[in-house]
Structure 1
Amino acid sequence: MDLTRFFADVDAQPWADLHHAYGSAADIPGHLRALAGESEEAASEAISELYGSILHQGSVYGATAHAVPYLARLAAAGHRTEDLLVLLGGIAEGGADEGDSDEAACRTAVAGQLPLILARIDAEDPGLRRAAAWAAAMTGAAGQVLPALRMRGKTETDPRVRAELLGAMAHLDPPGTAAEATGAIGAHEPGEVRIVALLACVDGGLPWGAAHHAAMLSLLPANDLVQDRLDLERNEPLQYVVEELLRRDTDADRAAAYTLLDAALRSAVPEARAEAVWAAETACLLSRSAPERLAGAVEALAADPADVSSAYSLLAKLGGRAAAAVPVLARLAGGEGDPADRALEALVAVAPDRAAPLLARDLERRPRALAAACGSLGGGTSGTPFPYDAVLLDAIRARLRGGGPGGNETIRLALLLGAWGSRASAALPELRSALPGAPRAVPKALVAICPPEHRETTAEFLTAAARTGPADGRLPAAAAVRELTGDTGPLLAAVADRLTPGGPAVQEAARLAAELGPEAVGLVPALRSALSGSVGERTSPQLDADAEIAAALWRITGDPEEAVPVLAGVLAEAEPTWMRWTLGRAARAAALIGEAARPLVPALEGLLDGRVQVPPVVLALHAIAPEHLDGPRAAALLLEAAERDDDAATALEALVALGPPALTPDHRRRLTDLAERDLRVRASGLEPGIAPADERLREQAREAARGLT
């Protein structure tokens, strides 16, 4: 390749007008020159920079597709060919097959370089053959790529290249590759090929039979067999197989998955058991029946303290069903340092009664266990409150008296005391002294533990905090006074003080004003002045605050003349892709207003094809103008939202509001499935909270199904 002409072409391109992850793409010519230069260090740095800019964490940009032909030409000329083929495959990997998105343009661009890529399928270097096979498959151009892969497969002898070829064919044609994969799972094949063949069998939709089960177990531990593969999605084979079988959501596939997991957890090979533990954790996040079905294998794990220490997270997910591990956990939790804290963290979930005295004994040095006991910072994510323990209460009081806690620890201690309620009343003095360290968490906890005879003095203390305490704790302190005594004076004053236009607490202050209703009529001028004024340039927090202010104005005055125009502005300005929750908040405010919010109906109807905002929008339309709702269509949209966990709780609430006439027999079947299926509906978020949140959602679905029959 004539590099002079090549770079003349490169320099003629409008790179400065194109953009990548870090802005202008004017730096791309320099990276291309480094790739073609003699310095290996500079070329390696250029590759790294390109991954960071034109393929940033899997995302592509306008400059990415423009760079593809130049990357391909450098690869064809022998400049960092393997690295560039892998980069091209990554650029194509996340692309769409059609449309005008950057992703589609990138895939099309890489597909346009297939002649250059496929020419390396027969390269002498096995690494080049592997990279070419993977990159070609990522284009999705099965018609061009599959014949070349199959032809190469007939003569390929390198096990790793054969594995990459088989994986590439399975990616392009899962059903069509299943037969070939089935023939490759036997012991006559190298392990690298057998494991990819098993993955291809799963991807091809084949039933998981005895031969697959036996082959998978014989290959464990399997992670090393795929460590060099370019397909990072399948780099933990046992976990991948279990997940895919569970996602099929059939009795036969579930049985196959749990039979495989049980056998792997009982393996005589420690590394195989370690892979099985991770796969079992994944099962717990996906499957409602996982804790019960995995409990039997815990006894086998509990026989070896080393296994228990590598399975803390799994044991915590199993909870009480991991009781067989309690003796080992308790012994490990009695040790020193972080290992003991991790063991105690698991014991909190498995046997909280056994965990409490161990936590009390060394409270200061058990931050993980304390976080688990209080349900982490958010509170309540663990599903059930940590049991009251008098010894632990004394330890908490001593810790608070010592003045040592700060930040998160104080918040967690306040959450734990608040969960115990009046049983923790002895800690009232210590909790009051902790207010400066956790001004938002302590007031609520004080209300929870305060006995009747101390309400007056506690209210006086909180009133002072609402006036002169830390700024971010004044609203919580004032709200606590109202809860203790019914006195709204401190809250009215605190809300007025925080209704500063553009201030950080406007949304919270407006919400509290709304709760006060007509009693907060004196706050109306402050609420009006707190509305954002930069129409067309408002941020999401500003729009959120305006929606709360609109709701407050309605709740206080009962006059829609001010609230409805404010909500109309929010609905018109909030961008549906990035401000879905803002739109949902505005829709809920509109639902409060009811029929008087009819001017908002066209804007709300236009949101019904969205995602997260659909449930509150249906609630709003049902409250404002039910005649505008097509009941069965609305029910279908709500069920779709619930099934993909887009504000599923609100979706179920809206289904109940629509009532039985809106549901077809198929809708009822789907609602029952949400409640009774094995796959979790809630499968994202912080891991400790996934199962409890899903159980709450499951019960809500059951109640909805009963109410809609």
Structure 2
Amino acid sequence: MTSPAELDRVQWHALTHAYGSAEDVPELIKALYESDGKTADEAIYELYGNIHHQGTVYSASAPAVPFLAHAVRHAPNKRAELLMLLAVLSDHDPADVDLPHWASSSVAAVCVELCRVLPELLFCLKDTERGVRRAALRVVAAVAELLPAEQRVSAMAQLDAVYATDPVPSVRADAMVVLARFGRETAALDSPLPEVRLAAAMLAVARSGPPYPADLMDVIAEDGAEPDPGDDDFPWSGTTTQDERLRRLLTEDPDASLTVAARWITAGDVGSRGSWLVEEIAETWRDREPAVLDLLVAALPHQRGARALASRLRTIGHWVELLPEPDAGLRDTLHQYAGADEETAGPALLALVHSRDFRALELVLRRPSARLLAAAAQHFPEAADQLIPVIRRELAAGATGNEGIALVGALAPFGTAARQALPELVACLQTRRAAIVAARQLGANGIATRETTDLLSEATQSTDLALRAAAAVAHYQLSGDVDPALRTFEGLLSRTGQTHWYLSALEPLRSAAAPLLPFIEPLLGAGYEWTRVAAAEALYWITGSPDRAVPVLVELVGPTPVGLRALKALAATGQVPEELLPTLRSFAFSPLRLIHDSSLSGQDHLDEELRTLARTLLAAD
């Protein structure tokens, strides 16, 4: 340990942290000793942000360790927080220790310093505060495999004492986890303490790998139904809490996880624990939607508060779209919640719409919102006569922003019937409300009037470049005059920046856009993936030849949003090279979701699109 009196012996100005020079670190360390708790808290917060920043440590991090260790002893009111800072600073993957770069890394320097001062920190294992004891255990765990033999013996003796005698079960469980880091196995599955049994089962599950033994799942289902109330404050390595680690382990075995989640939900879904596990299974594994939805419906009565209930209903609404025929019981439950006069009725009604239950249509018409109308238009396009008047009314009332965009977008599924909304679309373009999507819809409507074409021509001069592109294409679609569109796109494609947005608008022009090829062809080699895929698409639309587009698209195909876009474009060319077939098989038959999907992703089941398209292409081969 090193006292603040020795801070000036370190050349802090020559060291760096996340924000540059580390010359501010001494004042932050001195602030840890202030009697004013707020000042010390602010100093700890700043240290978390500079000598440790988003998992990275710096040249100033290791020199700070001895001073932080001194503060642990002499600033007892902040002991737990400082110990956790030391643990986080030294966090590393044990496998990295054998890599060539380890010895010269900043984290290795931190670990060396922590190993040196650790004997002087072990007194914290006997602190009267359980939080301090738990934090001290994290510090020991962080460098367990790096301690010299003599220190290992001393540390393990003290860990054994904590495991055997600590009055708090969660602390004993932590001690057992740290002992395992030292290679010490404990026969704890028969412990009378559920916290210890749960930790022991987790260690055994991690060793066994999936499929997990049923007896271990029984322990986890029985003893893991309620969260550890202090878990979030004391993460392990990787800043991962024990709860997060448990979810990750369980997610590797979906069948076992769903069984555990069912028992947790039956036990009351405390803290939405079972629901969160179920949702993670759905986000990770394909074809689990029926079981997931059954469990989420079972969890609805156990949700505590409107926020938790709304979250479960949103998740149901997301995944129910993937069921070919949602069963009547599920739809009846959603209808019941959707009909309630509560703040959760909105998510329930959206889920009911996604389930394609026609009872949803009446409720949407009674309580319309932009999002509900857009979803209803997608799932009930045959209800144009009922939905279009309401969409028009909402647009005429002055909808702006995302609401206006959603309302205009809701017209697309109705085809020529959407022409009824021509006055509202013109008004949107005039007032610049949802103007970009309004311009696109006007072009798709195919009704040319002098007013409309004049407005679109005017919009091609807008300071909003995306509006320029949309208006130029729509003007061409309605007038057949390609010159204004060519002038507009010459200007747009001559700019640096997000040119892929403009390239993606060119499809309706087809061969009429041939004069733009000198601007497009160089973009086939652009550094940005989205630009390359958009350039390849545009090249194929304009020339009708796949020769130059296909190699670019094949290179970009992958389990990512841009990779899916490339695969769609490749499918449109009708050419799928043989060397791509193994990749398509992996897309088609992987049990795991290859593109992340969740109710919070804001995306429409891209992984399902990837699988379906891959299977279609394989069948056509």
Is the shorter-chain TM-score for this pair beyond 0.5, marking a shared fold?
Answer: yes
Is contact 1:60–1:102 with CA below 8 Å preserved after alignment? no
Is contact 2:170–2:196 with CA below 8 Å preserved after alignment? yes
Q: How does 1:496-535 map to 2 (within 5 A)?
A: 496=490, 498=492, 508=501
2:458 maps to 1:460: no
Partner of 1:86: 84
2:142 maps to 1:210: no
Distance in 2 separating the partners of 1:702 and 1:645: 17
Partner of 1:289: 287
1:505, CA displacement in angstroms? 7.2
Tell me: CA distance 1:689–1:498, structure 2 relative to 1, closer, same or farther (3 Å): closer
Partner of 1:350: 355
Comparing 432-441 with 63-72, greater Cα deviation is found at 63-72
Amino acid paired to 1:488: V
> SS at the partner of 2:286?
coil
Distance in 2 separating the partners of 1:352 and 1:62: 61
Partner of 1:401: 396
Partner of 1:197: 200
1:142, CA displacement in angstroms? 5.3
1:678, CA displacement in angstroms? 1.7
> SS at the partner of 2:204?
helix
What are the Cα deviations for residues 267-296 of structure 1, in whole angstroms up to 9, with x where unaligned? 142527x22112111111111122122344
Partner of 2:225: 221
TM-score by length of 2: 0.79
1:507, CA displacement in angstroms? 5.8
Distance in 2 separating the partners of 1:671 and 1:491: 37
Partner of 1:553: 519
Is contact 1:642–1:649 with CA below 8 Å preserved after alignment? no
> SS at the partner of 1:311?
helix
Tell me: CA distance 1:368–1:185, structure 2 relative to 1, closer, same or farther (3 Å): farther
2:38 maps to 1:41: yes
What are the Cα deviations for residues 159-194 of structure 1, in whole angstroms up to 9, with x where unaligned? 232222233345x47xx56x63xx3234x4323323
Distance in 1 separating the partners of 2:207 and 2:263: 24
2:175 maps to 1:165: yes
Is contact 2:597–2:606 with CA below 8 Å preserved after alignment? no
Amino acid paired to 2:612: E
Distance in 2 separating the partners of 1:90 and 1:492: 57
Distance in 2 separating the partners of 1:324 and 1:308: 18
Is contact 1:341–1:368 with CA below 8 Å preserved after alignment? no
Partner of 1:534: none
What are the Cα deviations for residues 345-365 of structure 1, in whole angstroms up to 9, with x where unaligned? 3323234533333222222xx
Distance in 2 separating the partners of 1:212 and 1:225: 23
1:440, CA displacement in angstroms? 0.9
Distance in 1 separating the partners of 2:199 and 2:318: 30
> SS at the partner of 1:155?
helix
TM-score by length of 1: 0.70
> Which of 142, 152, 155 lines up with 2:158 in the alignment?
152
1:9, CA displacement in angstroms? 1.3
Tell me: CA distance 1:423–1:515, structure 2 relative to 1, closer, same or farther (3 Å): closer
1:309, CA displacement in angstroms? 5.1
Tell me: CA distance 1:297–1:552, structure 2 relative to 1, closer, same or farther (3 Å): same
2:235 maps to 1:231: yes
> SS at the partner of 1:434?
helix
Amino acid paired to 1:71: L
Partner of 2:563: 647
Q: How does 1:98-109 map to 2 (within 5 A)?
A: 98=99, 100=101, 104-109=105-110
Tell me: CA distance 1:313–1:583, structure 2 relative to 1, closer, same or farther (3 Å): same
> SS at the partner of 1:316?
helix
Tell me: CA distance 1:160–1:512, structure 2 relative to 1, closer, same or farther (3 Å): closer
Tell me: CA distance 1:393–1:47, structure 2 relative to 1, closer, same or farther (3 Å): same
Partner of 1:608: none
Tell me: CA distance 1:369–1:204, structure 2 relative to 1, closer, same or farther (3 Å): farther
Is contact 1:312–1:342 with CA below 8 Å preserved after alignment? yes
Amino acid paired to 2:268: V
Distance in 1 separating the partners of 2:67 and 2:234: 22
Distance in 2 separating the partners of 1:590 and 1:63: 52
> SS at the partner of 1:442?
helix
Comparing 297-306 with 199-208, greater Cα deviation is found at 297-306
Tell me: CA distance 1:510–1:424, structure 2 relative to 1, closer, same or farther (3 Å): closer
Is contact 1:35–1:46 with CA below 8 Å preserved after alignment? yes
> Which of 683, 689, 698 lines up with 2:596 in the alignment?
683
> SS at the partner of 1:165?
helix
Partner of 1:8: 8
Using the aligned pairs only, state the percent identity. Answer: 26
Is contact 2:79–2:132 with CA below 8 Å preserved after alignment? yes
What are the Cα deviations for residues 578-609 of structure 1, in whole angstroms up to 9, with x where unaligned? x6666877899999999xxxxxxxxxxxxxxx
Amino acid paired to 1:286: T
Partner of 1:275: 273
Partner of 1:315: 316
Partner of 1:121: 122
Distance in 2 separating the partners of 1:69 and 1:586: 56
Gaps of 5+ in 1: 248-252, 376-383, 524-550, 556-562, 595-615, 623-633
1:332, CA displacement in angstroms? 3.3
1:645, CA displacement in angstroms? 8.1
Q: How does 1:479-490 map to 2 (within 5 A)?
A: 479-490=473-484
Is contact 2:597–2:605 with CA below 8 Å preserved after alignment? no
> SS at the partner of 1:441?
helix
1:50, CA displacement in angstroms? 0.9
Distance in 1 separating the partners of 2:301 and 2:7: 65
What are the Cα deviations for residues 394-418 of structure 1, in whole angstroms up to 9, with x where unaligned? 2111112222x11111001011112
Tell me: CA distance 1:263–1:6, structure 2 relative to 1, closer, same or farther (3 Å): same
Gaps of 5+ in 2: 544-548
> SS at the partner of 2:410?
helix
What are the Cα deviations for residues 199-240 of structure 1, in whole angstroms up to 9, with x where unaligned? 222322355333223322323532135536622666474x75
Q: Number of residues paired by the alignment?
A: 589
> Which of 491, 494, 516 lines up with 2:485 in the alignment?
491
Partner of 1:53: 50
What are the Cα deviations for residues 397-442 of structure 1, in whole angstroms up to 9, with x where unaligned? 1112222x11111001011112322233322222221222011111
Partner of 1:674: 587
1:130, CA displacement in angstroms? 2.4
Is contact 2:374–2:406 with CA below 8 Å preserved after alignment? yes
1:703, CA displacement in angstroms? 3.9
Q: Compute the RMSD of aligned alpha carbons.
A: 4.3
Partner of 2:546: none
2:354 maps to 1:359: no
Comparing 84-93 with 74-83, greater Cα deviation is found at 74-83
Distance in 2 separating the partners of 1:350 and 1:102: 57
